[in-house]
Amino acid sequence: MISLNPYLIISISFFLCLLFTPLIRIIAVRNGWMAHPTKERWHKKPTALLGGIAIYTGTAIPLFFVADFTSILPHIFRNSVSAELPSIGATIWIGMTLLFILGLLDDFINIKPHTKLVGQIMVASMAVFLGFRLHWFTSLTLDTMVTIFWIVGITNAFNLIDNMDGLCAGIGFIAVFFLALMFYGRLPEAACVAMILSGVLAAFLIYNFNPASIFMGDSGSLVIGFILAMLSLYNSEASGLNMLSFYVVPILLLMVPIFDTTLVTSIRILSGRKASTGGKDHTSHRLVLMGFKEKSAVIFLYGISIVSGLSAVFVTRTDTLTSPIVIIPAIISIMLMGIYLAQLRVYPEKEFSLLRDKPYTPILIELTYKRQILLVILDLCLITFAYYMSYRLRFSSEVFGFYFKVFLRSLPAVIVCKFAAFFWMGIYRSIWGYMCSNDVFVYLKASFIGTILSVGAVTFIYRFEDFSKGIFLIDWLLTTGFLLGTRGSFKLFIDTVKRKTLSGDKIIIYGAGRGGEILLREILNNKKLKLKPVGFIDDDKKKVGKKLQGYPILGTLDDMEHLYSKYDIDGILISFIKNKMTRFKTIKSFCNKNKMFLKHFSIHLDDIDV
């Protein structure tokens, strides 16, 4: 391998892609190689294709001169016995070239999904044949199959997240940046590959970030996915990480594409769709449905990728006993995000009905509608993390090694006791997404009883030897906080989605009292009304400037002229009884003058003859 200055490597790859991308765009536009808007695609205007050519060129040219291709020959012909792996750069160059050709063919002639999959498996098998494996399992057969699945899965994951301007290139850049950081000074060739790709993606983002002037296509996303799949498994194989991070670091580095692929594939299968079918149901699309703007959704996913990358760096530099401080919260956060986003209606209801007559329907319906299975799994993680953190907070690092064994020995008993209390108190009988003061009291009791049962269990089983009372006090506080926090976040998520996705006529609610609050809740829960509140007005000047359910009290009726011009109001909703209003004629006259509608909110209980 030729030794080059890292700044020179990045500069060469950056300027190559910076030069080739606009050139490819001009050629694509002249020849009509454009991505046109369709029902299954997100973009709304014709955009040049084949940006993957610039990505491949910017990566392949410098990598060709720094990779050691001669190291592959002994592994191909098996004429020497060597425990060393061949050049990671040469292996990646060959694999990405094959996948680039495959992707380019798909960009032009739309290869069938199973044909692309066969090609990807062949390339992944080549990498495994040359000696690259995850080494997650002692069984060579199992580890080989899992490695092939990893390479193919990550390659396709980046292909799937290429669904919004700048998303695939940006997530790829963040992941490869952290890989370069981990490789630098330890694995020079891998660091060189990572720096080359980082330079290329940084340049491509200039043209691909919202609003994109060119798309990379499969010829680009498959190349990015394959390189990152290879670099992530090489990081674990060649760097000698501690046992826990050995498995976790590759997943943390590629958290966003792994999460998106898992979420989309699972929900498509559950809704009766083919997993290979395109659609507007990816993580980025669901964030837009929540109310994010397209650019904000992409930046939000960038943020998740950065946090995951920082977590991966932390895990590589700590021991197995400390790593769970980052790993478990990451798992819990991703689970919560999955639960949140899975609730957004993307498919029509009839698609879910395709599964209702299947023999496994009850399990799927429980999973997708009642959601209690997911809550049980979430609580298992919360219980484990709270109990682990109580030991970390209670004992210093010098003695934690001893008490970690105590933690592992007693954890099963604590889990059983906590779940027994949770089921006994009925926290899984409440309706998902709704939380009131009574529910808070139930969670407090469930957590307290779970802690008391845990103390009783370890006393009976272990005679409370090597245990500390402080452990269970901290555990109770953490468990209670996690329970209230996660359940409260469900309600917060639903309310946020309702508010951000409201559309229709802009209205002001007259009356910031109890009636106004009830009216606002009805608007938020009934999208059929097609009303979008701007805020409240009220005759009580003391309320002006305050908020009711998150909406501002903008002024009094005397301020309506100013508010009408400022917010372009379409109508006014009165939240209390008309015959008690002293200013009804004034507001009616104002609405007639400005051609605004005026409606009155009321609730009636009618007698029914029986």
pLDDT in tens, 338-394: 878 877 767 654 444 444 444 433 434 444 444 567 788 889 989 999 999 999 888
In the predicted structure, residue 7 carries a pLDDT above the cut 80: no
Q: What confidence score (pLDDT) does residue 81 get?
A: 44
- Model confidence band, residue 421 (pLDDT cutoffs 50, 70, 90): very high
Q: What confidence score (pLDDT) does residue 578 get?
A: 52
Transcribe 301-369 into DSSP letters: HHHHHHHHHHHHHHHHTS-TTTTHHHHHHHHHHHHHHHHHHHTS--S-HHHHGGGTTSTTHHHHHIIII
- For 486-544, the three-class secondary structure string (H helix, E strand, C coil) is HHHHHHHHHHHHHHHCCCCEEEEEECCCHHHHHHHHHHHHCHHHCEEEEEEECCCHHHC
The backbone torsions φ and ψ at residue 432, rounded to the nearest 5 degrees and listed phi first, read: -60, 135
Q: What confidence score (pLDDT) does residue 369 get?
A: 45
Amino acid making up residue 601? F
Per-residue pLDDT averaged across 425-454, rounded?
A: 83
Find tokens 């209606």 and name the residue.
345
Could you name the CATH architecture of 502-600? Answer: 3-Layer(aba) Sandwich (3.40)
Q: What confidence score (pLDDT) does residue 353 get?
A: 42
Burial (CB < 10 A; 0-12, 13-18, 19+), residue 608, is exposed
Six token digits for residue 100? 């680039």
**DSSP at 45:** S
Burial (CB < 10 A; 0-12, 13-18, 19+), residue 136, is middle
Domain map (residue ranges) of the chain: 6-369, 386-498, 502-600
Six token digits for residue 425? 């108190």
Q: What confidence score (pLDDT) does residue 348 get?
A: 56
Better-scored residue on pLDDT, 414 or 289: 414
CA distance 64 to 66: 6
> Which is nearest to 309 in space by CA: 178, 154, 193?
178
* Lowest mean pLDDT segment, chosen from 105-119, 232-246, 277-291: 232-246
Rounded to the nearest 5 percent, the helix, strand and coil shares of the chain are: 70, 5, 25
> Which is nearest to 550 in space by CA: 492, 484, 482?
492
Average pLDDT taken over every residue of the chain: 84
In the predicted structure, residue 556 carries a pLDDT above the cut 70: yes
Q: What confidence score (pLDDT) does residue 77 get?
A: 63
**DSSP at 185:** T
- 551-555 vs 47-48, strand pairing mode: unpaired
In the predicted structure, residue 474 carries a pLDDT above the cut 70: yes
Better-scored residue on pLDDT, 599 or 207: 207
> Which is nearest to 337 in space by CA: 164, 486, 153, 480?
486
- Model confidence band, residue 452 (pLDDT cutoffs 50, 70, 90): very high
Helix (H, G, I), strand (E, B) or coil at 402: helix
- Model confidence band, residue 8 (pLDDT cutoffs 50, 70, 90): confident
Do residues 213 and 98 lie in contact, with contact meaning Cβ atoms separated by under 8 Å?
no
In the predicted structure, residue 538 carries a pLDDT above the cut 80: yes
Greatest mean pLDDT among 106-115, 120-129, 501-510 lies in: 120-129
- What distances in angstroms separate CA 366 from CA 358, 360, 376, one per listed residue? 14, 10, 12
The backbone torsions φ and ψ at residue 166, rounded to the nearest 5 degrees and listed phi first, read: 80, 0
**DSSP at 41:** -
**DSSP at 47:** E
The answer to whether the Cα torsion of 100, 103, 107, 110 is positive or negative is positive
Better-scored residue on pLDDT, 600 or 102: 102
- Model confidence band, residue 336 (pLDDT cutoffs 50, 70, 90): confident
Helix (H, G, I), strand (E, B) or coil at 584: helix
Do residues 548 and 572 lie in contact, with contact meaning Cβ atoms separated by under 8 Å?
no
Burial (CB < 10 A; 0-12, 13-18, 19+), residue 239, is middle
Determine how many CB atoms are found less than 10 A away from the CB of residue 34: 15
Q: What confidence score (pLDDT) does residue 4 get?
A: 59
CA distance 73 to 94: 13
- Model confidence band, residue 193 (pLDDT cutoffs 50, 70, 90): very high
- 551-555 vs 531-537, strand pairing mode: parallel
* Lowest mean pLDDT segment, chosen from 79-93, 361-375, 422-436, 522-536: 361-375
Q: What confidence score (pLDDT) does residue 28 get?
A: 93
Better-scored residue on pLDDT, 236 or 240: 236
CA distance 269 to 289: 21
In the predicted structure, residue 173 carries a pLDDT above the cut 90: yes
> Which is nearest to 259 in space by CA: 287, 230, 294, 226?
287
Q: What confidence score (pLDDT) does residue 360 get?
A: 37
Do residues 450 and 479 lie in contact, with contact meaning Cβ atoms separated by under 8 Å?
yes
- What distances in angstroms separate CA 228 from CA 74, 137, 253, 258, 569, one per listed residue? 25, 21, 9, 12, 51
Q: What confidence score (pLDDT) does residue 243 get?
A: 66
Per-residue pLDDT averaged across 230-250, rounded?
A: 75
Transcribe 74-113 into DSSP letters: HHHHT-S--SS---HHHHHHHHHHHHHHHHHHHHHH---H
Q: What confidence score (pLDDT) does residue 365 get?
A: 42
In the predicted structure, residue 264 carries a pLDDT above the cut 60: yes
